Copies of this chain bind each other. A is one copy, B any other.
Amino acid sequence: MGAALAAHQFQGDSRPDFDDAVRQAVTKLRTTRPTAMNLFWALDRMEKVLDAHPETTVPKIREELIHEALKILEEDDAICHQIGKNGQSLIPDSANILTHCNTGGLATSGYGTALGIVFAAYEAWKKIHVYVDETRPLLQGARLTAWELRESGIDVTVLCDSAAATLMQKGMIDCVLVGADRIAANGDAANKIGTYNLAVLAKAHGVPFYIAAPISTFDLSIPSGDQIPIELRNGVEIAEGFGVRTVPKGVAIYNPAFDVTPQRLISAIVTEKGILKPPLKQSIREVILSK
């Protein structure tokens, strides 16, 4: 959509200038997130449209780009619904689900991945209660996920990230359900900082730990999560996250945006092609090759 917007906003009829403008937008978007995989997948698709029609006029190629963006939107929506459909079988009735960050309609084209599974389970008339980590530092859980769930009429409780452990200790969580930004060939998965924490807790408490992600999140070019680049963000997000200084000046801040959960802690990965179960490496190979 960002590339389509650049195409839409371009004025003039020089095709080289048009290509420059669109590729500039693509490059800008590409550098916003080193970790996220299906961002690159979508941007690659947009660039391929440019490459495939080098001689086309500006109005025509603009139309092609907007058409491709709308196609990605539609496909992503269908993929999310299929992930929801596939994954909801994992959710028992009267489930207490713990989630982290946002994986709903605000993070995808409109239904969600991990949250898509919640919606699908709810639509299948299951009773659902979702515990949502507020997700420091940017509070996507508190601000986005809690809002989406409330709007959908699903019971939701927000907690500080560090309180998830005590919920599991009390036996109040039936499963953890999160998204992923990039999944390596062996199943190691990068996701919002705090996800690995939940995976360790889930393992220690015998709680299933599920990831939901489209096939476009898999990066088979890297054998393990060690090779996933992790975005380190500005410490000011922690020090002045709400317009109020909460960390004294002169103090160092560690602010990684993601962490990597090793495959051995993942109970299943739900994709639009089906549910991948351990051994994940083998399961990933089978599903991706069958695509």
Q: Name, among A137, A167, A200, A248, the residue most crowded by chain B CB atoms within 10 Å (CB to CB).
A: A248
Which residues from chain B contact A200 at a C-beta distance below 8 Å?
Answer: 165, 200-201, 204
Min CB distance A2 to B, Å, is 27
Judge if A21 is at the interface, Cβ distance under 8 Å.
no
Query: CA–CA, A255 to B162, complex, Å?
Result: 10
- Which residues of chain A from 64 to 116 have a CB within 8 Å of any chain B CB? none
Judge if A52 is at the interface, Cβ distance under 8 Å.
no
- Contact-size category for A: 35 or more
Which residues from chain B contact A134 at a C-beta distance below 8 Å?
Answer: 136, 238, 246-247
Question: Are A238 and B161 closer than 8 Å at their CB atoms?
Answer: no
Question: Are A253 and B159 closer than 8 Å at their CB atoms?
Answer: yes
Judge if A163 is at the interface, Cβ distance under 8 Å.
yes
Question: Are A162 and B136 closer than 8 Å at their CB atoms?
Answer: yes
Closest to A203 in B: B204
Question: Are A197 and B254 closer than 8 Å at their CB atoms?
Answer: no
Given contacts A136-B136, A197-B201, A244-B243, contact A238 B165 (CB under 8 A): no
Question: Are B196 and A254 closer than 8 Å at their CB atoms?
Answer: no
Min CB distance A158 to B, Å, is 5
Judge if A11 is at the interface, Cβ distance under 8 Å.
no
Which residues from chain B contact A238 at a C-beta distance below 8 Å?
Answer: 134, 142, 158-160
Query: CA–CA, A82 to B132, complex, Å?
Result: 42
Which residues from chain B contact A167 at a C-beta distance below 8 Å?
Answer: 254
Give the interface segment out of A143-151, A178-186, A271-279. Answer: A143-151
What is the 8 Å Cβ interface bit string for chain A, positions 169-197, against chain B (1 contact, 0 not)? 10000000000000000000000011011
Q: Which residues of A does B touch, CB under 8 Å?
A: 131, 133-137, 139, 142-143, 146-147, 150, 155-167, 169, 193-194, 196-197, 200-201, 203-204, 235, 238-239, 241-244, 246-248, 250-256, 259-260
Give 8 nearest A-B pairs by CB, closest first.
A162-B194, A242-B242, A165-B197, A161-B162, A166-B259, A136-B160, A157-B252, A159-B254
Q: Could you name 28 residue pairs across A and B whose Cβ atoms are closer than 8 Å?
A: A134-B238, A134-B246, A134-B247, A136-B136, A137-B160, A142-B246, A142-B247, A143-B248, A156-B251, A157-B254, A158-B235, A159-B253, A159-B254, A159-B255, A160-B194, A161-B162, A162-B194, A163-B256, A163-B259, A165-B197, A166-B193, A166-B259, A200-B204, A203-B204, A204-B204, A242-B244, A242-B246, A243-B244
